[in-house]
A = this chain, B = another copy of it.
């Protein structure tokens, strides 16, 4: 067994059985090792698709995927979506190919400081020193990636460590930690006192707390105390829809967020921080809460929110309180012009039970996602890192994690263009992804932000950097070029019908929503 074979075998031993790959010459032995039948390898035509797909996979599975990237530049191409994954606390194991040690000293063309490129966005970076240690290196990488919160682990694999003999393969135990840390009882007790005060309180949930039992327990706290429940504007993954506890959403725009938060005397955080503005503006605050609002932490990132809420309910004597669950809103198919409201109504009517909604719709979806809380139960995934081009890769990875669930990927046209190569992988793998392109032919968000920044109305040169209508992207042709069937819609009823149609057959579909 050579080093590459030991690496792949150890990945699968440790439960990592998918690899999003964009290989090059230095990874040929790795490719050979991917013949291991326990590993599924998925080819992506750009590295940002690999890393974004690993993010989406983790969000749905809760366990890390691996990526295969070609030297420093291959890693560099994946960094923007590693940034997004890191901010979403998604674990992943990046394997970055490298020249052999003996070759590196000649500074061949593809040489770069891979550790230097990896460190700013990785929690853990290591270079394999010998094929005989690669199994330990990989087991350590998987353990780090599997921590709660998930970590970015980057392992650099020189060619000689890949092709040389690794010796007998050790079957290593999992080195991953046993689970989330216990919350601090004193903090829980303090939050109980806050809630007993009866003063207006907002509990902000994130991380593991926006789904499953933690979410249901949060609903009991709300029912028992009158505290309101919310998320930040962007959250890694929310279970929502009929039968779930509904979380409010703190608005994105600074003015609206300040207005929303001003009535609360207390903010309680669960796996997140107090609300801050996404960007800075000349005349707007960074911290969004009102002066005098207290901020208390119920559970830190990586602490167990289920335990925290159970302890809190015990302290409140409210363990038996029933949560208020979201009712199913009647599905009304809208008709007529496409706009934020009719788009959201069409979505609410079309989303099948158990689907996954990946949202990078920016301006189009920003104000109206609330209209879908009464839809059939589904998962909502958002971009925690703010680097656009995250949605189509994340949808790709989510579909591989959950092959029986349809993924709806809502994405603005500008955002979609960053990592549009995702469509090809979706076609190749026959993934159940419905990509919804909101084609307003503009980085529309920047028009609003231009004014928000106090820059006035954009002049012709500035507008030329914001509008992407010359040429207008032909989305039907784009989808066709990569083997994805596509349809264009320009009314709310056609949009609804196209979404429903996309669920009737296996495989990807693209819907251009003409705005």
Contacts and interface: CB of A to CB of B under 8 A. Distances in A.
Interface string A435-475: 00000000101100110111110111110111010111111
Given A417-B46, A428-B470, A478-B478, A280 B31 contact: no
A159 interface: yes
A381 to B, nearest CB: 15
Interface in A42-75: 43, 45-46, 48, 71-74
For chain A, give the interface size range.
Answer: 35 or more
Nearest to A274: B106
A48 B25 contact: no
A235 B427 CA distance: 37
Interface string A483-503: 100000000000000000000
Given A73-B385, A99-B280, A473-B424, A234 B109 contact: yes
Contacts of A34: 461-462, 465
Nearest to A39: B461
B103 A286 contact: yes
Interface stretch (A79-87, A166-174, A214-222, A299-307): A79-87
A242 B84 CA distance: 52
A129 B115 CA distance: 28
Interface stretch (A117-125, A184-192, A262-270, A402-410): A117-125
Contacts of A282: 160, 163
A31 B117 contact: no
Contact of A83 (B76, B464, B480): B76
B450 A31 contact: yes
Contact of A475 (B102, B279, B481): B481
A336 interface: no
Most buried by B among A25, A389, A424: A25
Interface of A: 21, 23-26, 28-29, 31-32, 34-35, 41, 43, 45-46, 48, 71-74, 76-77, 79-80, 83-84, 87, 99-100, 102-103, 106-110, 112-113, 116-117, 119-121, 159-160, 163, 234, 276-280, 282, 286-287, 384-387, 389, 414, 417-418, 420-421, 424, 427-428, 443, 445-446, 449-450, 452-456, 458-462, 464-466, 468, 470-475, 477-478, 480-483
8 contacts: A31-B461, A46-B417, A46-B418, A73-B80, A73-B84, A77-B389, A83-B112, A112-B121
